[in-house]
Structure 1
C-alpha cells in the first residue's frame, strides 16, 4: 500500500476512526478501508507516526509503503517518515496519548525536538501533551531554554509572554534582556513570573506635578509607592501603573496621622485633588483635611469640583428643580472612606 495522490474525501470513515484521528480520517479510510482494523488496532505510537507522515509529507514525496509503518521496528520506520529524525522523536511518539494531533502541532513537535534544551525537557516529561507543545512553540527560544515557570504555563499565557518579550527586546540591550530572562526563569510560578515581566515595563515615574513641601512630599518611584502601600495597608500598589501613565500623582502627608493623597489631571484645572485616605483606607478627620486642603492650594493645585463636575452641573442647571451640592460637601467626598 502506498501514499499516492488520493481521490476526494472518503465517506467510509468509521466513528471510531474519526474519534482517534479526526483530521486525517478521510485519508486514513482510503488507505485502510472500513473497518480500518490495521490502523485502529495499532499501538498509539504507530498511529501517531502515520498521522505525522500525513502532516509533513511534501507533495513530491516518493511513494511509501505505509503498511511498513505499522509492522517494522519503530526506530527504523521513524526514519522512513523523517530522515534525519530529531533525537527523541521515537520516544515522543510513545508519549503523545491516544488521539492524533493536528498537522501544525506535529510540525511544532518536530521543530522543538531539534532544539537540544527543549528536547531534553520533553524527554523528561512523563507525557507530552498538545498544550505543552503549543506553550513551548509559542515561547521565544531564549525563554524556552531558561525553563522554569514559563515552560509550565498555558498556551495563551505563553503567547502573552512572547509578545511582552518581543516588546522588551526593542527597548532593552541584549545583555539586559538576557538578565531579565534569567530572573524570569527563577520565578516560583506564573503569577510571580508575570509580576516580574510587568515590572520590566515599569520605567521611572514621570516628574511629579509639584516638588512638594516639608509636609507633603511626592512618592517619586515605584518602590516608594509600594512602600507606602505596605505602611498604610491599602491598595495603593494598584495605582503604580496610573502614576506611570501620568493618570495619577501620589503624595504623602507627613504630619500625624499621615495620609496618602492622589492627584489626577483635569482638562481645565490641571492637576487636582482626587482622594486622600488615612491608614487602612480610613477617612480623613476634619482637622487633617483642612490642613491638606490649605497645603494643596498653597502649592497652586486645584481643590474643588472637577471640570467634568462643573460641566455636568451646568448642563442640569436650567431645570427649576436644580440643586447645587455645597462646595464643602463636594470637597469632603475626596476625604471620605467609601
Structure 2
C-alpha cells in the first residue's frame, strides 16, 4: 500500500493523540485522501488536547466516526459540497485557514457564485481557494480560476476588470465575454480587445487643423495600422497618462509621441511610417508646434507606475504559457 506523506500541524496533532491511543497515527496515514482531509477539517476546529481521557475519546472519534459524523461534530450542519470539496483537496492536510475559508465560501449566502465554482473545480488547495476569493464573484468561473496561476495574478485580473468598467466598458458585456473564455490564448486576446475600447485621459494639447490627438485605444490601433508601427504597444501607458500620441500635418504627416514624468510633458519622438525618419521641415514644424504649447524634448526618465500597469502584465508575451 502506497502511503502519501503528511506533515505540519495536523500530523503533529495526530501523533500527540497516538501517544494516548496507539494506532491513531497509523490509521490516519493509511486513510484515503478524503478521510485525511475530513479529519484535518475536524481537527482544525479543536484547540488541542491535554487530558489523556479526552485525547483517547478524540482519537477514537477520528479513527471510527464516518465522514459525515466528523463534519457534523466540527461544524454542526456542514454546507452542501464540503465533503466532496475535501475529497478533491489532495492527500496532504493544509493549513487551518484553508478549512475555515472553504466552509465559509461554501456557506456564504451573499457569494453563491464562489460556492458554485468551488463545486466544479477538479482540484482544491490554499492557492486556488485564495484565487476564488480574490476574483470578483461575477467572473469567478471554473475556467478562469484554472487559467489564473496565483492569487497575485487574480488580483491583477480583478483590478483590470475594475479599470475597464470604470473607463466606461459595459460590465455585463465584459462579464459575458469572460464567461466564454476557456484557453490562455483567448484570455490574453480578450484583455487586448476590450482594452482597445477604452478612452484615454485628456490630451495635453487641444485638437487643431494640423494636430489630431489620439483619444482612444481604437484610434491608437488605427494609427498603428496606418503607419505600420508599434504604438499599439503603448496602450497601458496611454491609459495611465504616461504617454500620449497625435498626428501632426504640415506638408506631410507624422506621429508625435509625448511622455509625462512627474507632471511634466516632453517630446519622446516624432516618427514617419514604419518609424522611419521624418523630413527635416516636417520634423522642425512638429517640434515648433509642440514648443508653442510648452512641450519640448528632454532627457528620458524612468517610467512612472500607474494603475493600468496591470494591463501590461496581463498582456505581456508568454504571460499565460503555464496553462495547458
Name the TM-score, length of structure 2 as normaliser: 0.69
* Aligned position for 1:102: 95
Q: Which moved more, 1:111-120 or 1:20-29?
A: 111-120
Structure 1 unmatched ranges of 5 or more: 1-15, 310-338
Structure 2 unmatched ranges of 5 or more: 301-324
The 1:237–1:119 alpha-carbon spacing in structure 2 relative to 1, beyond 3 Å, is same
Q: RMSD of the alignment, in Å? A: 3.9
Matches within 5 A, 1:90-129: 90-114=83-107, 116-129=112-125
> For residues 305 and 273 of structure 1, what CA distance do their matches in structure 2 show?
4
Superposition deviation, residue 100 in structure 1: 0.7
1:209–1:271: 8 Å Cα contact kept in structure 2? Answer: no
1:260–1:276: 8 Å Cα contact kept in structure 2? Answer: yes
Superposition deviation, residue 31 in structure 1: 0.8
Equivalent of 1:235 in 223, 230, 234: 230
Matches within 5 A, 1:126-275: 126-144=122-140, 148-150=143-145, 152-154=147-149, 155-163=151-159, 177-188=171-182, 189=184, 190-192=187-189, 194-195=191-192, 203-214=199-210, 216-254=211-249, 258-264=253-259, 273-275=267-269
1:27 aligns with 2:5: no
Superposition deviation, residue 236 in structure 1: 0.6
SS in 2 for 1:97: coil
The 1:229–1:197 alpha-carbon spacing in structure 2 relative to 1, beyond 3 Å, is closer
Superposition deviation, residue 182 in structure 1: 3.6
Superposition deviation, residue 276 in structure 1: 1.5
> For residues 189 and 176 of structure 2, what CA distance do their matches in structure 1 show?
13
1:120-141 superposed Cα distances (whole Å, 9 cap, x missing partner): 4333333333332221122233
1:132-158 superposed Cα distances (whole Å, 9 cap, x missing partner): 2221122233332x5542553122211
> For residues 295 and 159 of structure 1, what CA distance do their matches in structure 2 show?
42
* Aligned position for 2:60: 67
How many pairs align? 281
> For residues 107 and 124 of structure 2, what CA distance do their matches in structure 1 show?
16
Q: Which moved more, 1:258-267 or 1:46-55?
A: 258-267
* Aligned position for 2:270: 276
The 1:157–1:74 alpha-carbon spacing in structure 2 relative to 1, beyond 3 Å, is same
1:248–1:262: 8 Å Cα contact kept in structure 2? Answer: yes
> For residues 220 and 124 of structure 1, what CA distance do their matches in structure 2 show?
42
- Spell out structure 1 runs of 4+ moving beyond 6 A: 166-169
Larger Rg: 1
* Aligned position for 2:313: none
Q: Which moved more, 1:37-46 or 1:205-214?
A: 205-214
Superposition deviation, residue 256 in structure 1: 8.4
Matches within 5 A, 1:254-333: 254=249, 258-264=253-259, 273-284=267-278, 288-297=279-288, 300-301=292-293, 306=298
Equivalent of 2:31 in 42, 47, 70: 42
> For residues 94 and 245 of structure 1, what CA distance do their matches in structure 2 show?
45
* Aligned position for 2:314: none
1:184–1:196: 8 Å Cα contact kept in structure 2? Answer: no
